[in-house]
Chains A and B, each alone.
Chain A
Amino acid sequence: MDAQILESNQIKHFKEFLGTYSKFIETCFLDCTTCSEHCLQKYLKMIQQISMRFQEYHIQQNEALGAKTGLLGQP
């Protein structure tokens, strides 16, 4: 059962990745004639940065939540 859940999560992630990927290919195709390599690299760096900030945010949220429940858990 766990394996199935893992697999469906992986499939979801992959679908999301494909979606993002094809969107940016389309953007670079529409915006660019000779600059497509720059476009690609820029996009990849952008996605990397956004993912980092997103993860940082969630780590912060989890820590805050943990601190709150920790306080509540104490008698």
Chain B
Amino acid sequence: MTSACHRKCVPPHYKEAELSKGESVCLDRCVSKYLDIHERMGKKLTELSMQDEELMKRVQQSAGPV
């Protein structure tokens, strides 16, 4: 997350040693969006893996005892 937001928000000029207001705001937004996407993707992945598991169970059940 640190390197992603750095790439997006801090242009490689380095004229000053301070973070400018714009960069600071950008970093806050970047962190917030990153964490939001992280959460959403996590939920989606869990959902998909549960669906997969359901499907596998059904396939095994319909195949019947061997």
Residues of A within 8 A of B (CB): 20, 23-24, 27-28, 31-32, 35, 37-39, 41-43, 45-47, 49-50, 53-54, 57
B15 touches which of A38, A46, A53 (Cβ 8 Å): A38
Segment of B1-9, B40-48, B49-57, B58-66 in the binding face: B1-9
Q: Which residues of A contact B5 (CB under 8 A)?
A: 46, 50
Within the complex, the shortest CB–CB distance from B51 to chain A, in Å, comes to: 25
Interface of A is mostly: helix
A-B contact count (CB 8 A): 56
Give the number of chain B interface residues (Cβ < 8 Å).
20
Return the chain B residue nearest A44 by Cβ: B17
- Sort A-B residue pairs by CB-CB distance and give the 8 closest, nearest first: A41-B17, A35-B14, A31-B12, A53-B31, A38-B17, A38-B14, A39-B14, A45-B19
Within the complex, the shortest CB–CB distance from A26 to chain B, in Å, comes to: 11
Would you call B10 and A46 a contact (CB within 8 A)? yes
Would you call B14 and A54 a contact (CB within 8 A)? no
Q: Bound complex: CA of A27 vs CA of B7, how far in Å?
A: 10
Within the complex, the shortest CB–CB distance from A14 to chain B, in Å, comes to: 16
Q: Bound complex: CA of A46 vs CA of B12, how far in Å?
A: 13
Q: Which residues of B contact A41 (CB under 8 A)?
A: 17-18
Q: Which residues of B contact A49 (CB under 8 A)?
A: 19, 24, 27-28
- 18 extra interface residue pairs, beta carbon distance < 8 Å, beyond A32-B14, A42-B19: A28-B14, A32-B12, A35-B14, A35-B15, A41-B18, A45-B18, A45-B19, A46-B2, A46-B5, A49-B19, A49-B24, A49-B28, A50-B5, A53-B27, A53-B28, A53-B31, A54-B35, A57-B31
